[in-house]
Amino acid sequence: MSDSNLAIYQKYMQLIYYTNDLVRKYPKSETFALVKEIKNSLYSGMRLLMYSIKTYQVQNKLKYLSEFDIQLDLLKVYIRLSYKYKYITMQNYNTWSKNLTDICNMLGGWINACRKK
């Protein structure tokens, strides 16, 4: 793993820890709805990130990175919904969003680097 890949992996792991701590506080009625969607998106993102790291062909790497980007966009929607329904505080929303934005910025740089090859 290169340093940049390791950085995005570590940042994403922090996001997973933070997210799992937050969704434990959601109402029981959301356990099989919003919480399930958040976790599915989160873990699908990790799978795609691992595929991206392990793949050597640029076309495949770009495909996985693009799908990973979509999972991150879905997470943004779920975070907005969580805040709108008052499952999380403004501080939680800001922290969660900042973590996601950092990952998106790192991902954008990675995608650009792959396209230049």
Structure confidence by residue, pLDDT tens digits, 22-41: 999 999 999 899 999 999 99
The rounded percent of the chain whose pLDDT value lies above 90 is 92
Q: Give the start-to-end residue ranges of the domains of the chain.
A: 3-116
**Cα dihedral 32, 96, 78, 111 in deg (nearest 10):** -120
Task: Give the integer Cα–Cα distance in Å for 53 and 78.
Answer: 26
Decide if 51 contacts 64 (C-beta within 8 A).
Answer: yes
Cα separations (Å) of 95 from 61, 62, 72, 101, 102?
29, 28, 15, 10, 11
Q: What is the pLDDT of residues 77-104, one digit of tens each?
A: 999 999 999 999 999 999 999 999 999 9
Tell me how far apart the alpha carbons of residues 50 and 113 are, in angstroms, rounded to a whole number. 17
> Position of tokens 């933070």?
18
Domain 3-116 part of CATH 3.40.190.10: no
Looking at the predicted structure, is the pLDDT value of residue 117 above 90?
no
Q: Binning pLDDT at 50, 70 and 90, where does residue 1 land?
A: low
